[in-house]
Structure 1
């Protein structure tokens, strides 16, 4: 799940919003391709100020996460460098995994709802607002435990555990700022015994 920060701000006119949306699709397609998930193979739905994308089963999750976030940062910087302020993109992204049901109306599942809630979590919004960077990521506890903490290329020590309380969801997430990482020496974060 990705969401553009401040998409509905009054300083963005409809042409600005259109440029942001067009740019978001260019950025996402390039980043997913570089991370080993061809855009044409991914199920995706537009959300106006963002989108959700389902990565096919069989994509190497470690390689995907290790590659996706740095490429997103690079592609966002390229877009922003070529556009005026009101057409620039700062992005929140949530990473979660689970089963989905596809029917004639689209897709649904508790995993998808959870990804939406993660992307809307206050600690993620605060992290991006306080960062000079262009991207803030949040991973579910499952994705952090199963994938990120085992992947040196995902810089697991630079993710910070946060509470997620959005609507009916009360959970734990892990926040990461790929282009302005938390420093382990300044904030050691929780120990590796956070879950059983």
Structure 2
């Protein structure tokens, strides 16, 4: 079973008591709606989808806080979104979304409490014209990111650098094909690093089987590499919301992924383990949504937590030193 990133949406309907008098056919049978939204990993089997993210969405939908908000207003719809969805999408104010309309609350359910945001619907208005399709549409795109960098690339002679760049592409391409996933576009190259973006890809496949396949490819290359052309890799797997314009994707999620890739912590972990062909770092989102569940051959016990200082502050991440399988 693969995981897939999707926005889980649950809608509950509550009919307002019929008002007016006379024949019931003349009654105003209007309805109010509760809507809950959350983004996360779900698992699909032959019966449907399931997982923590779907459970969280249903907890939001049936929360007393959302029901109370709807009862205290004449609005036709009340929406509650998880704090994760608010921070990753709504806070960026994409396509006219007004973050200030979302009020922070604390949802209490089953002895637990967690933050969320509530917004009441505006009065009905005329439908706006359909948006024009454009790369620079202002939309946010949820993508998974695979970043790969060669250790000590800058100290090699230019002739060796050319060999390393070519072989790195071959190895990563082979690992991606083995994992059965397709990147959104050709990789973006920056010196000794490669960046691959994956839309709608089961994220567990970027961890396993992709990372073990890349480890095998790297070890096979090193076994017959030219003198001075051996390589070791730093690898980051992350996911997040990105904007896209006519040139490329961009956004703070991508900046954070590069921050992990170039962090001293990841460099030091690879340097301190000379027997390792590569060191992998995954973001908190990837660990929480994929790794900790132990899907397939993923072993959560082989990942250890780390705090990584970035320009905008410290972030949580997890480091893994994979073995060839």
Q: Is the shorter-chain TM-score for this pair beyond 0.5, marking a shared fold?
A: yes
In structure 1, the partner of 2:219 is 77
Q: Does 1:168 align with 2:312?
A: yes
Q: Does 1:99 align with 2:245?
A: no
Over residues 97-136 of structure 1, what are the superposed CA-to-partner deviations in whole Å (9 max), with x where a residue is unaligned? Answer: 0122221221101111111011112221111111111110
Number of aligned residue pairs: give it. Answer: 176
Higher relative contact order (CA 8 A, sep 6+): 1
Over residues 3-57 of structure 1, what are the superposed CA-to-partner deviations in whole Å (9 max), with x where a residue is unaligned? Answer: 1100011xx2111000000010001100111112135x44521011111110121
CA distance in 1, matches of 2:298, 2:236: 14
Q: TM-score with structure 2 length normalisation?
A: 0.52
Structure with the bigger percentage of strand: 2
Q: Is the 8 A contact 2:256 2:310 kept in 1?
A: no
RMSD of Structure 2 on Structure 1 (CA): 1.5
In structure 1, the partner of 2:167 is 23
Cα gap change, 1:42 to 1:150, in 2 (>3 Å): farther
CA distance in 2, matches of 1:164, 1:85: 34
In structure 1, the partner of 2:269 is 127
Over residues 162-187 of structure 1, what are the superposed CA-to-partner deviations in whole Å (9 max), with x where a residue is unaligned? Answer: 1101333411110000028xxxxxxx
Cα gap change, 1:83 to 1:15, in 2 (>3 Å): same
Larger Rg over CA atoms: 2
Over residues 139-179 of structure 1, what are the superposed CA-to-partner deviations in whole Å (9 max), with x where a residue is unaligned? Answer: 00111001111124121111010110133341111000002
Q: Unaligned regions of 5+ residues in structure 2, if any?
A: 1-146
CA distance in 1, matches of 2:254, 2:316: 16
In structure 2, the partner of 1:52 is 195
Cα gap change, 1:21 to 1:169, in 2 (>3 Å): farther
Cα gap change, 1:85 to 1:102, in 2 (>3 Å): farther
CA distance in 2, matches of 1:178, 1:107: 29
Where does structure 1 differ by over 6 angstroms across 4 or more consecutive aligned residues?
none
Of the three residues 207, 232, 245, the one matched with 1:65 is: 207
Cα gap change, 1:119 to 1:49, in 2 (>3 Å): same
Structure with the bigger percentage of helix: 1
